[in-house]
Amino acid sequence: MNAQSTLTRVVERAGQRLVEAGATFLHLKAVDEEWIHGVRSAEPQQIDSAGIVIEWLGPLRRVAVESEIETIAAVADGMRRIDFQRSLLERLADITSMPAGLTSSEAIQAITDRARKAMAVSRISLEIRTAEAIHRAESGAPKSEAERLVTIPTLTAHSTMTIPALLDEDLIDLIQLVAAHLATAIENALAHEQSLHQARIEEEYEIASRVQQAVLTRRPVPSIEGLDLDATSRPARIVGGDFYEFLPAGPDATLVVVGDVSGKGLPAAILTSLTLSTISAKVEFLPTPTPELIMARAAEDLYQPFTDVGMFTTAVVARIEPRRMVTANAGHGLVIHRPWGRPPRLVTPTDAPIGVLQLTSGDTTEVVLDPGDLVLVASDGITDQRSPVGDLFGLERLKGLIDDGDDKEASAWVDRILAAVDAHADGREQDDDQTLLAIRATAEGILRFELPPDLEALRALPGHLAPAIPEATTRSRVELAVHELCVNAITHGECRSPIAIMVWGDAGRTVVEVAYDGITFDPSAPVKVPDEPTVHGYGLGIIHHLSDEVVYVRRRLNQTRLFFRDRSSPE
Amino acid sequence: MHLLERPELNQLHLNGRFDAFAAPAVSEALTRVAAPGATVVVDLSAVEFIDSTGLATLVQALKLQQASKGDLILRSPTDAVRVILELTRLDRAFAIEP
């Protein structure tokens, strides 16, 4: 049974009551909203049945709906309409169980109040006018006091039903009768419509998700000598508020953008696209796209759109070179630097999240990268993942995973961390979007040589080191300290295979790694130069005096790194 | 490393790299120029490099001389040597001639 025949039957029954009540005709206006199947195709028509006239009219915007929340998504708007229709339906159900004994004006008042409450709108009007008044209104004649006509907001915001004045009790009966039948008809239509809507929304989400994945993966992870990069993002819902992108920055560097828009789902996803495209445009069009300038301009542009919808986003803009990383960081908490052989530490934000303040600090944080250094940029979906009993994965657990001196490939770090997060969740649904970037500095392009494990062969050391260390004072410090380490390895370390040495650095800084296979020996522990002259024990003291930092990692080999700051120039 | 031994003067001239590789030869030469109760002079004016083993060799010789009421003097250390002597505070243990 379609809505139209239902309505016809309702009107027929109502007409029966009206005939009994001595009325001449019923004027019913219904509006063919698209969402009422069966009514959709109905043409304006007149049915004469026991003196009843049914008239289908176009939209009569009697009830206007003030939008409750401005949303930016068309789909979200569609969902709101369904909510609205559901509230109308509830109101109709209310009407049908209205207490007896109300006067028509009381009933109208009650309907108006309930409708207003249910729909959270202010403009709903019910009027009572005589049938005669309709003719006069249509012919342009002035309304009189006697005009009594009922206009009931029935189907949607855009429909009304107009019924001529009746005796109070008949009118209430009629309203109840019509409402009860309409409620059933609408409920059926709505249930069908809602399932269609749901399917459509899911389909749109699915498309949005595919679009987002396509956007996120449109630029491959760049390949840069001395860097090993990997990135992944897993939205909690079908589409997410996390984003990342690698942007070009010349042959020996890359720009990376990572962030997390507040909230989840489609609204957040739309803002991720806006944020990424704004930042991409800055990178493309700024004459010198430094992280702080990109951040400043993007934060300026994005302030208003984010403020308008009461949202914000964190964002890290980092320029990554094999030996250093420069970051402008708008409120993104999870940037972690794990220097080789040392504990991880957070790279703190330089600015508030985008959308909170229009101006940025212009500051950056520079992190020096050495081979084996690892930088993680994660979204809080990683640390905020809960276990089935609700305990957080947490920052300490994340730091603990990378604090073991291992130097594996970036993709292996990502896999290891995600596996640990999944194990923690233990089947619990993902709480939030999870994004993780691993940036690992490698030894590619670094000067490396080997020396056989005998004392005479160490005399080749100065010749190897000289080209890598232009500054003479630093060079002699490095030569002696590295020489002492090698002598130790040969005379005390049972080193029987070649000693591998790597040297790198830049202006004002030199680093040397000495790696050999031998008994475990940690030269990094602080030593005291003996007060009294002794025959042994000067080697380590010399190493510590000449270098600024000693870091030791024992895995398969003894690996010691000596760090030298240029001391010839003033501090 | 080139060694010039002058046992009659209890003197030893060192030339070149005084490192762990050279140390055994220097140690032997020191026993040849030393005599109980004598003041041994080690000339370092031509030493371009000294390491901890080189230092230990000198300390060992110093202790040996002191045990027989003698002494060991370092003569004219180059800057490279002087820096290491200061760094290890051995400049306070040795008598150093300019």
Residue A447 to chain B, least CA–CA distance (Å): 24
Has domain A217-441 been given CATH number 2.60.120.10?
no
Residue contact A480–B62, C-beta within 8 A? no
Q: N- to C-terminal Cα distance for chain B?
A: 22
Measured distance CA(A306)–CA(A30) in Å, rounded: 42
Residue that has been written with the tokens 């004219």 in this structure: B76
Angle at Cα A85 formed by Cα A16 and Cα A38, nearest 5°?
55
Type of residue at A334: L
- If one counts every other C-beta atom within 10 angstroms of the C-beta of residue A537, the result is 14
Which of the residues B86, B88, B90 would you substitute to probe the A interface, choosing the one with the greatest number of A C-beta atoms within 10 Å?
Answer: B88
Q: What is the ipTM of this complex?
A: 0.93
At B32-79, the pLDDT tens digits run: 999 999 999 999 999 999 999 999 999 999 999 999 999 999 999 999
Question: So what CATH class is A447-565?
Answer: alpha beta
Assess contact for A159 and A165: CB atoms under 8 A. Answer: no
Residue contact B19–A455, C-beta within 8 A? yes
Assess contact for A499 and A453: CB atoms under 8 A. Answer: yes
Of the candidate ranges A140-154, A201-215, A330-344, the one whose mean pLDDT is the lowest: A140-154
Q: The whole model's pTM is what? A: 0.68
Average pLDDT over residues A230-238: 80
Measured distance CA(A399)–CA(A335) in Å, rounded: 11
Take residue A371 and report the two structure tokens written for it.
Answer: 């081979």
Domain boundaries, chain A: 3-200, 217-441, 447-565
Indicate whether A50 pLDDT > 50: no
- If one counts every other C-beta atom within 10 angstroms of the C-beta of residue A560, the result is 27
DSSP secondary structure code for residue A141 in this structure: P
Residue contact B19–A541, C-beta within 8 A? no
Domain boundaries, chain B: 2-97
Choice between B56 and A33, residue whose per-residue pLDDT is larger: B56
Residue B7 to chain A, least CA–CA distance (Å): 24
Distant-in-sequence, close-in-space partners of B91: CB < 8 Å, separation ≥ 6: B82, B85
Choice between B74 and A161, residue whose per-residue pLDDT is larger: B74
Q: Dihedrals φ, ψ of A334, to 5°?
A: -100, 70
Q: Which fold has domain B2-97?
A: Transcription Regulator spoIIAA (3.30.750)
Quote the distance between the C-alpha of residue A220 and its chain's center: 20
Residue that has been written with the tokens 């109502």 in this structure: A14
A window 6-25, beta carbon within 8 A of B? none
Side-chain half-sphere CA neighbours of A406 within 13 A: 12
At A479-492, the pLDDT tens digits run: 999 999 999 999 98
Average pLDDT over residues A517-523: 90
Q: Dihedrals φ, ψ of A379, to 5°?
A: -95, 160
What is residue A13's predicted lDDT score, i.e. its pLDDT? 52
